[in-house]
């Protein structure tokens, strides 16, 4: 049995009167890739953001690597170091070069030696194919390159889990492939990943499990095979036919 | 009406005196803007902190400063601080700093809030604390955006410093008025002091433009 990296029980989240997550249950095991799909507003982003506590839940339980995290008593900054996040709009630091973007957190948060952090940052940039862009500012990069830097930046903290919130939705179609390739490579290396995406090709090829969200709930989940070829719920069928 | 030759004569002749005033004006302006920038940053952080009590303190401060004339503030500081044995220069400096601070607070608040929310989230998602993200990620970007309005505030502060003449500080403007009434040649001295301010403002505008260019290089 693989280690349980994320366990969510009865998770609830509201914004004012709007109940965005209603009793969500989810478990993610080590090295698994879980793809979240669902219509706009179904709560996918909110669920991801609850997992690294950018949003604070209103109820339920979040267990990260076997430890229940209580936002009141836990140091969330430490929890977030274990859970990397990649955003739709990259959110690179525009006043720092690519290399500085990647080095920032290891040096400032982990007090890593600068030389060592730079060496590791360069290895990561090599890995995402951007060694030649180390000294460039983000504004000079294409969207695909920005997103790969963002992935390298998150990996620099050596997280155990990576969350991706529509990492290719803001990209020109011809740039989507390079980012998905980087993510696929990461998955093959055994990274535990939760990915919100509309790229069904990626889901079919890489995901261990696909989770369909509707109206703040997990409506149906299964292997890509099961969910795409043989969905059980009417809603899932409707959603799938609407996006294909 | 304007005898240019005469103005030039007086300009040259009064030059040493005005240099003394200029020095005091510059000191007063730079000191009050620097302290004002510190005050402004603190109150801007109060305003965006989301902590009610800090919010209130900042709002009251800004309302008081913006709702009263600067000359009243300078006199209050002058009489208030004189009792503590603080010099006219420093009470003027503090008064102007408090005044500039309120406006600079609004400048910083605006520029901090103009930085994309995603920047804070990216920092936090990497395990950086709120304070660290503020200092390393948000404020450097906010400061760059604040530079043009800050330069503008500096120019306003420079001209406002002339009000310190009312508390017997021999800065530029008070030299002009004392010399003017001593020689019964007020108009000439007013034109001359106007020229001094004009040149200062132009030089400073140039400096800010250069700094802006330098800061935006690369990105
Ligand atoms: N900070 C917030 N304040 C108020 N409402 C919010 C906030 N964040 C999200 N919501 C609301 O919560 C609901 C779910 O949003 P969420 O972003 O999780 O959906 P999503 O499934 O990621 O959608 P999309 O595919 O459009 O990204 C939406 O109705 C949204 O308007
Ligand atoms: Mg979303």
Q: What is the pLDDT of residues B101-124, one digit of tens each?
A: 999 999 999 999 999 999 999 999
Q: What is the pLDDT of residue B82?
A: 85
| CA of B193 vs chain A CAs: smallest distance (Å) | 41
Sheet arrangement for strand A192-196: A83-86, A161-165, A192-196, A33-38, A209-214, A217-222
Nearest in space to A164 (alpha carbons), one of A66, A52, A14: A52
3-state SS, chain A, equals: CCCEEEEEEEEEEEECCEEEEEEEEEEEECCCEEEEEECCCCCHHHHHHHHCCCCCCCEEEEEECCEECCCCCCCHHHHHHHEEEECCCCCCCCCCCHHHHHHHHHHHHCCCCHHHHHHHHHHHHHHCCCHHHCCCCHHHCCHHHHHHHHHHHHHCCCCCEEEEECCCCCCCHHHHHHHHHHHHHHHHCCCEEEEECCCHHHHHHHCCEEEEEECCEEEEEECHHHHHHCCCCHHHHHHHHHHC
CB A171 within 8 A of CB A198: no
Nearest in space to A192 (alpha carbons), one of A53, A88, A52, A60: A52
Q: What is the pLDDT of residue B212?
A: 83
Q: What is the pLDDT of residue B3?
A: 87
Q: What is the pLDDT of residue B14?
A: 92
The residue-averaged pLDDT of B134-141 equals: 97
| CA of A95 vs chain B CAs: smallest distance (Å) | 7
CB B119 within 8 A of CB A93: yes
CB contact under 8 A, A81 and B126: yes
Among B21-25, B29-33, B163-167, name the one with the lowest average pLDDT. B163-167
Any A CB within 8 A of B144 CB: yes
Q: Residue B7 and residue A75: Cα distance in Å, rounded?
A: 70
Q: What is the full per-residue pLDDT of chain A (244 aa) written as tens digits?
A: 789 999 999 999 999 999 999 999 999 999 999 999 999 999 999 999 999 999 999 999 999 999 999 999 899 999 999 999 999 999 999 999 999 999 999 999 999 999 999 999 999 999 999 999 999 999 999 999 999 999 999 999 999 999 999 999 999 999 999 999 999 999 999 999 999 999 999 999 999 999 999 999 999 999 999 999 999 999 999 999 988 7
Return left, alpha or beta for A16; rule: phi > 0 is left, psi -120 to 50 is alpha, else beta: left
Nearest in space to A8 (alpha carbons), one of A55, A69, A74: A69
Q: What is the pLDDT of residue B219?
A: 58
A169 within ligand 1 shell (Cβ under 6 A): no
Q: Which residue has the higher pLDDT, A86 or B211?
A: A86
SS3 B180: helix
- Calculate the CA A84 to chain-centre distance: 7
Cβ partners under 8 Å of residue B56, min gap 6: none
Q: What is the pLDDT of residue B215?
A: 77
CB contact under 8 A, A108 and B218: no
Return left, alpha or beta for A43; rule: phi > 0 is left, psi -120 to 50 is alpha, else beta: left
Q: Residue A166 and residue A194: Cα distance in Å, rounded?
A: 11
Confidence of residue B1 (pLDDT cuts 50, 70, 90): low
The residue-averaged pLDDT of B3-31 equals: 93
CB contact under 8 A, A139 and B124: no
β-pairing verdict for A59-64 and A192-196: unpaired
Q: What is the pLDDT of residues B28-73, one digit of tens each?
A: 999 999 999 999 999 999 999 999 999 999 999 999 999 999 999 9
Q: B23-27 long-range CB contacts below 8 Å, 24 or more apart? A: B24/B89, B24/B169, B24/B170, B24/B171, B24/B172, B25/B158, B25/B161, B25/B162, B25/B171, B25/B172, B25/B173, B25/B200, B26/B200, B27/B89
Q: What is the pLDDT of residue A2?
A: 86
Asked whether residue B218 carries a pLDDT value surpassing 70, the answer given is no
Cβ partners under 8 Å of residue A131, min gap 6: A122, A125
**Residue ID of nearest Cα to ligand 1 atom 16:** A43
SS3 B91: helix
SS3 B84: coil
Q: Residue A179 and residue A187: Cα distance in Å, rounded?
A: 12
Nearest in space to B150 (alpha carbons), one of B194, B86, B88, B215: B215
**Residue ID of nearest Cα to ligand 1 atom 6:** A15
Cβ partners under 8 Å of residue B15, min gap 6: none
Nearest in space to A182 (alpha carbons), one of A155, A211, A209, A158: A155
A214 within ligand 1 shell (Cβ under 6 A): no
């Amino acid at each position: 049995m693989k280690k349980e990296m994320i366990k969510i029980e009865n998770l609830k989240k509201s914004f004012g009167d709007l109940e965005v997550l209603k009793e969500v249950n989810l478990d993610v095991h080590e090295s698994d890739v879980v793809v979240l799909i669902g219509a706009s507003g179904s709560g996918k982003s909110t669920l991801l953001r609850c997992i690294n506590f950018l949003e604070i839940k209103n109820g339920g339980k979040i267990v990260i690597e076997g430890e229940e995290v209580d936002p009141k008593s836990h140091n969330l900054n430490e929890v977030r170091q274990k859970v990397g996040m990649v955003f739709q709009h990259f959110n690179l630091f525009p006043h720092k070069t690519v290399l500085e973007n990647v080095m920032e957190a290891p040096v400032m948060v982990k007090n890593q030696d600068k030389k060592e952090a730079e060496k590791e940052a360069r290895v990561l940039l090599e890995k995402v194919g951007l060694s030649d862009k180390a000294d460039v500012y983000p504004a000079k990069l294409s969207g695909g390159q920005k997103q790969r830097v963002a992935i390298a930046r998150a990996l620099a903290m050596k997280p155990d889990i990576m969350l991706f919130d529509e990492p290719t939705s803001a990209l020109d179609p011809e740039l989507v492939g390079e980012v998905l390739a980087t993510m696929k490579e990461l998955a093959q290396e055994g990274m535990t990943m939760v990915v919100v995406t509309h790229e069904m090709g990626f889901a079919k090829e890489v995901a261990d499990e696909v989770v369909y969200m509707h109206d703040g709930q997990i409506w149906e989940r299964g292997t890509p095979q099961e969910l795409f070829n043989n969905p059980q719920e009417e809603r899932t069928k409707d959603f799938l036919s609407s996006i294909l | 009406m304007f005898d240019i030759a005469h103005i030039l004569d007086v300009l040259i002749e009064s030059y040493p005196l005005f240099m003394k005033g200029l020095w005091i004006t510059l000191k007063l302006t730079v000191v009050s803007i620097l302290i004002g920038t510190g005050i402004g940053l603190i109150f801007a952080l109060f305003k965006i902190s989301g902590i009610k009590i800090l919010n209130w303190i900042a709002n009251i401060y800004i309302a008081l400063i913006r709702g009263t004339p600067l000359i009243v503030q300078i006199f209050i500081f002058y009489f208030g601080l004189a009792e503590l044995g603080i010099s006219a220069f420093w009470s003027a400096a503090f008064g102007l700093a408090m005044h500039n601070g309120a406006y600079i607070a609004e400048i910083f608040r605006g520029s901090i809030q103009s930085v994309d929310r995603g920047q804070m989230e990216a920092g936090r998602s990497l395990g950086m604390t709120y304070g660290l993200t503020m200092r390393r990620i948000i404020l450097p970007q906010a400061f760059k955006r604040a530079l043009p309005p800050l330069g503008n505030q500096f120019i306003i502060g420079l001209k406002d410093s002339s009000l310190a003449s009312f508390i017997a500080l021999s800065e530029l403007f008070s030299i002009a008025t004392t010399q003017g009434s001593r020689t019964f040649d007020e108009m000439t001295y007013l034109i001359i002091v106007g020229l001094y301010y004009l040149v200062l403002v132009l030089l400073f505008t140039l400096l800010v433009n250069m700094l802006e260019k330098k800061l935006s290089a690369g990105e």
